[in-house]
A and B are shown apart, each in its own frame.
Chain A
Amino acid sequence: MESRSAIQIDALSKTYRQRDGTPIQAVRNLSLSVPVGQVFGFLGPNGAGKTTTIKMICCLVKPTSGNVRVNGHDVWRRRSAAIRQIGAVLEGTRNVHWPLSAWDNLIYFGHLKGLWGKELTTRAEQLLRELELWDRRKDLVRTYSRGMQQKVAIACALIADPPIVLLDEPTLGLDVQAARTVKELVGRLAREQGKTVVLTTHQLDMAQELCDRVAIISKGRIIANQPVEELLDLFSEEYYQIKVKGYLPAEVTSRFDGLTIEEENGNTILSGPIADQNALHDILGRLHDLALPLLSASRAEPDLEEIFVRMLDTDGAREEG
């Protein structure tokens, strides 16, 4: 049975016009469906069209063509109903008022969503306690650390308890600890509260850990849209890791194009896609010629980062071809 879609995007395109009239196609004929209750990773390099797509879902940017439905509501035809389904933290901006306290921000954003009275204050208290901001709720947000400010932004996005949460680069500019806190929070939103989360991030380890499904977008087009496990399986057959003792001389690294070379505790690890057994033996022969003792050679699971890079490379090569 097909699962219900929290977000349904059909043939969505967006073309911006520069001052001289030159068109820039930010999103091209994009269609996808985000199932209810899943964490959906929306990945892509800078300028790929992720933020434009997120903003079109939020009714902040008008599509050139196509449409978006959130929980069945068309965002342009039934804006008010659609917008009630969504909470969002957008990329690269404060999202909240720094000259206000965390408490006042939550009350304000609650009012914006039409909440008031006891319902609003109870929800605000619950969120601030959950995010460990309660003790500093009366302090101005501008006095907070970057991580705390981001937590306030997330709390404000959640104030009306929306079923869908859009997080555009929520860990951008955060230190390791703050990023981990946000990551744990995103995990809790989906696993414990059953929310649908759309996440864009450059932290692919985070996406791999949190997402049920991932779409990769490049130059405005979707080039992959699969459950994370299926995506990882795509290349696992031909992905190897070879470990040799000693270091690879710099002048010969070009002989191992396409492999990632890392040095670790006096050893060298070469990893990446190798087409077949003949190519594997050829590489092992080259390492033997360099008199580097083989420690191990094994088929390895590529991570999401590797898949991401390969997909983009493949897409780039296809475009050039």
Chain B
Amino acid sequence: MKTALVTLLGEIRKNLLISWTYRANMLVSTFTIGFVFVGIGFLMGQGELNPDQLASMFLGYLAWFYTLAAIGDLSWGLRGEMNAGTLEQMSMSPTPIGLVLMGRVFANLMLSTAQILVQGCVFFLLLGIRIPMRWEGIPVLAVTLVGVFGFGFLIAGATLVFKQFESFANLMQNALLFLNGTILPIDVMPGWLAGIGKTLPSTQGIIVLRQVVLDGQSLVAAWQDGSLVWLVVHSAIYLAVGWLVFGYCERVAKVQGSLGQY
């Protein structure tokens, strides 16, 4: 238990230190991705930046941003470790690799939160977006992120087994922006597309987040109407499936000998 905890903290520290080394890149990417939000907001407002529309979009963007970061870190980031041979060294810890990667996830969560806070401040100041400060949004976001990181583990497992899977992950990162309800609400999409959208990791989180933060719905009400229940179930399924798939893929990677190969 002590070893696992020390390893977890060590992994968080390592990821934060590496990000600090690349702080300039990180700052640039914070603003580059921020421009995506502004650009889409501009298009959706048909040439205008409407603060009310942007507030709704921002909550979707928030969930997408965490998903983007989780997928990137657990695909490209993991691939980088595989190529450098550090994943094999990581696998030689007495702590199971899945738990070591949890440290990576926590570090990612901290960094993404810092980035989104910077972006949020800029958007609020420059675009006049106003989002009601309702604490109920925090547990909803937390449950959403559980599903997002469960999905991240699924991606990480596939990265261990399939060569160049990270390119597919990249495609998924971008597709999610359009399919998880960030830009267009799910209920205005064609039925089949809405069906796909509803299964994605952050979609239900965005729906509940908007209900609770923008519409002022209480958590009890969200639970009673089933939307919060579905979010919890959705996230729990993603976490369980992600964890199981990762464990399975790790075993396959050890059979294939692909932990340290590109």
Contacts and interface: CB of A to CB of B under 8 A. Distances in A.
A6 to B, nearest CB: 17
B20 to A, nearest CB: 9
A55 B256 CA distance: 12
A16 B257 contact: yes
B90 A112 contact: yes
Nearest to A55: B257
Interface in A77-107: 79-81, 83-84, 86, 88, 90, 92-100, 104, 107
Given A97-B14, A108-B10, A111-B10, A16 B89 contact: no
Interface stretch (A56-64, A186-194, A216-224): A56-64
A116 interface: yes
B21 A140 contact: yes
18 contacts: A16-B257, A55-B257, A58-B88, A59-B92, A60-B92, A60-B257, A62-B254, A86-B92, A96-B86, A98-B84, A100-B14, A104-B14, A111-B9, A111-B13, A112-B10, A112-B11, A114-B2, A114-B95
Interface residues of B, number: 33
Interface of B: 2-3, 6-7, 9-11, 13-14, 17-18, 21-22, 83-86, 88-95, 100, 251, 254-257, 259-260
A156 B89 contact: yes
Contacts of B21: 99-100, 140
Given A60-B254, A100-B14, A112-B93, 10 more contacts: A55-B88, A58-B88, A93-B86, A97-B18, A108-B11, A111-B14, A113-B3, A114-B2, A114-B94, A116-B10
Contacts of B13: 107-108, 111
Contacts of B10: 107-108, 110-112, 116
Looking at A95, A100, A111, the one whose CB has the most chain B CB atoms below 10 A away is A111
A112 B84 contact: no
The range of chain A's interface size is 35 or more
Nearest to B91: A60
B97 to A, nearest CB: 10
B6 A109 contact: no
Contacts of A60: 88, 91-92, 254, 257, 259-260
Interface string A1-30: 000000000000010110000000000000
B22 A16 contact: no
Nearest 7 Cβ contacts at the A-B interface: A111-B10, A93-B85, A114-B3, A112-B93, A99-B21, A80-B94, A62-B254
A52 interface: yes
Contact of B14 (A80, A81, A108): A108
Interface of A: 14, 16-17, 52, 55, 58-62, 79-81, 83-84, 86, 88, 90, 92-100, 104, 107-116, 140, 156
A90 B11 CA distance: 21
A283 B91 CA distance: 57
A159 B260 CA distance: 21
A235 to B, nearest CB: 35
Contact of A112 (B22, B89, B257): B89
B7 A111 contact: yes
